[in-house]
């Protein structure tokens, strides 16, 4: 259901939880969750957390590397809204209210649109894509994400020729923050991509991982995954997408422009001012097996290298 931006969302558009569980897209353990739900035993949030997503195979998956365990993927996180420690988001993001959830798309587009999350989930077949995931802090994982290309959504909005950049804004509510005022971050979390980066098929609008809807700490109910860039470009728990004629301000770049560039392409040849980017640490392996060589554009150079032809990547880091 597409809803015009100016309209309020009628309450009839908010999916009752029973309908959600009964949808054909949802399979497997959803049956058990549905029973528990009708018996009133589970809260909505718990039911979503155990909801499986049906996926189709993707041509854009990275194969050949061992997956990082579900436990590591969901307990070693960066999500500063819920604490600055790696183990804090898994604890404090529990109350993130993921339903109802609305994504608002506006700015330089012919069709500004507002979507309910469950409409967005059904818009295109969900693909499972295994991507390498590389944090600017020089650790990495391999994660089976679920979603579809952001370009599919962008096309529906018909961006104007003046749309040169896309901004992503995360959900933010001070009363849910673990330590309000703990960081000098100017909330909400903001990130951005150049239009051609946003339109690249690898850029994934992400709804799940490991066959299930996203756990809250990984950015439920929807986030971005941009596999050739440092992890901070992949905004979590997105509520707004804006098309702009100028480069948007972005959270980490605002905080420390010398350390976190707008582009933030994974690049072993451009060190962070405080550490090397030549190597990285693969989370979940025995200590002596963790160290590996960082790949240019995180190993996606064949697919995305042409986006940066002729650009000085030391300057545009
Ligand atoms: N809203 C929001 N999005 C965010 C962050 C954050 O703090 N807040 N951290 C970023 C960083 S630094 C990384 S490495 C990834 C981490 O994603 P993961 O916890 O699913 O591995 O999310 C990114 N998206
Ligand atoms: Mo990161």
Cis peptide before 221 (omega within 30 of 0): yes
- 73 CA closest ligand 1 atom index: 21
pLDDT for 152 beyond 50: yes
Per-residue pLDDT at 30 = 38
What's the CA-to-centroid distance between 7 and ligand 1, angstroms?
A: 31
Per-residue pLDDT at 230 = 98
Split at pLDDT 50, 70, 90, the class of 46 is low
Does ligand 1 have an atom closer than 6 angstroms to the CB of 210?
A: no
What's the CA-to-centroid distance between 225 and ligand 1, angstroms?
A: 10
Does ligand 1 have an atom closer than 6 angstroms to the CB of 76?
A: no
Per-residue pLDDT at 177 = 78
Per-residue pLDDT at 195 = 98
What's the rounded mean pLDDT across residues 285-312? Answer: 97
Model pLDDT for residues 90-139, shown as the tens digit of each residue: 999 998 999 999 999 999 999 999 999 999 999 999 999 999 999 999 99
Highest mean pLDDT among 49-53, 80-84, 176-180: 80-84
Split at pLDDT 50, 70, 90, the class of 179 is confident
Does ligand 1 have an atom closer than 6 angstroms to the CB of 236?
A: yes
Considering only CA atoms, which residue is closest to atom 6 of ligand 1?
79
Domain ranges of the chain: 47-308
Q: How far apart are CA 247 and CA 168, in angstroms?
A: 12
SS3 string of the chain?
CEEECCCCCCHHHCCCHHHHHHCCCCCCCHHHHHHHHHCCCCCHHHHHHCCECCCECCCCCCCCCCCCCHHHHHHCCCCHHHCCCCCHHHHHHHHCCCCCCEEEEEECECCCEEEEHHHHHHCCCCEEEEEEEECCCCEEEEEEEEEEEHHHHHHHHCECCCCCEEEEEECCCHHHCCCCCCCCCCCCCEEEEEHHHHHCCCCEEEEEECCEECCHHHCCCCEEECCCECHHHCCCCEEEEEEECCCCCCHHHHHCCCCCCCCCECCCCCCECCECCCEEEECCCCHHHCEEECCHHHHCHHHHHHHHCCCCCCCCC
Considering only CA atoms, which residue is closest to atom 10 of ligand 1?
232
pLDDT for 29 beyond 50: no
pLDDT for 24 beyond 90: no
Task: Name the residue of 69, 140, 225, 236 whose CB sits within 8 Å of the most ligand 1 atoms, as the mutation to test its pocket.
Answer: 236
What's the CA-to-centroid distance between 120 and ligand 1, angstroms?
A: 21
Per-residue pLDDT at 51 = 87
Per-residue pLDDT at 48 = 58
Considering only CA atoms, which residue is closest to atom 11 of ligand 1?
232
Split at pLDDT 50, 70, 90, the class of 80 is very high
Q: How far apart are CA 131 and CA 278, in angstroms?
A: 19
- 171 CA closest ligand 1 atom index: 1
Per-residue pLDDT at 14 = 36
Split at pLDDT 50, 70, 90, the class of 49 is low
CATH fold of the domain at 47-308 = Sulfite Oxidase; Chain A, domain 2 (3.90.420)
Please tell me the pTM assigned to this model.
0.86
pLDDT for 38 beyond 60: no
Does ligand 1 have an atom closer than 6 angstroms to the CB of 206?
A: no
Model pLDDT for residues 219-233, shown as the tens digit of each residue: 999 999 999 999 999
Model pLDDT for residues 299-309, shown as the tens digit of each residue: 999 999 999 99
Task: Name the residue of 68, 79, 168 whose CB sits within 8 Å of the most ligand 1 atoms, as the mutation to test its pocket.
Answer: 79
Considering only CA atoms, which residue is closest to atom 16 of ligand 1?
78
Does ligand 1 have an atom closer than 6 angstroms to the CB of 231?
A: yes
Does ligand 1 have an atom closer than 6 angstroms to the CB of 267?
A: no
What's the CA-to-centroid distance between 232 and ligand 1, angstroms?
A: 5
Ligand nearest to the CA of residue 141, numbered in listed order: 1
């Amino acid at each position: 259901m597409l809803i015009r931006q100016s309209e309020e969302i009628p309450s009839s558009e908010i999916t009752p939880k029973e309908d959600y569980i009964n949808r054909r897209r949802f399979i497997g353990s959803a049956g058990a969750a549905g029973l528990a739900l009708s018996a009133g035993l589970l809260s909505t949030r718990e039911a979503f957390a155990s909801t499986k997503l049906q996926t189709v195979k993707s041509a854009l998956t990275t194969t050949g590397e061992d997956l990082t365990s579900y436990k590591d993927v969901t307990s070693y996180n960066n999500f500063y809204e819920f604490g600055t420690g790696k183990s804090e988001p898994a604890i404090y993001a529990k109350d993130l209210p993921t339903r109802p959830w609305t994504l608002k798309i506006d700015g330089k587009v012919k069709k500004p649109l507002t979507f309910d999350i469950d409409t967005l989930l059904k818009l295109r077949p969900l693909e499972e894509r295994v991507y390498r995931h590389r944090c600017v802090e020089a650790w990495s994982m391999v994660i089976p994400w679920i979603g579809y290309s952001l370009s599919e959504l962008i096309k529906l909005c018909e961006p104007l020729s003046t749309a040169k950049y896309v901004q992503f804004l995360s959900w933010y509510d001070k009363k849910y923050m673990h330590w309000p005022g703990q960081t000098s971050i100017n909330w909400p979390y903001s990130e951005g991509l150049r239009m051609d980066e946003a339109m690249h098929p690898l850029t994934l609008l992400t709804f799940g991982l490991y066959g299930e809807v996203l756990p809250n700490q990984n950015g439920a109910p929807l986030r971005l995954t941009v596999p050739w860039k440092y992890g901070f470009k992949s905004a979590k728990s997105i509520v707004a997408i804006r098309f702009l004629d100028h480069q948007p301000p972005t959270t980490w770049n605002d905080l420390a422009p010398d350390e976190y560039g707008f582009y933030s392409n994974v690049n072993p040849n451009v060190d962070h001012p405080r550490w090397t980017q030549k190597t990285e640490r693969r989370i979940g392996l025995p200590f002596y097996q963790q160290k590996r060589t960082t790949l240019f554009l995180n190993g996606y150079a064949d697919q995305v290298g042409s986006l940066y032809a002729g650009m000085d990547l030391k300057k545009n880091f």
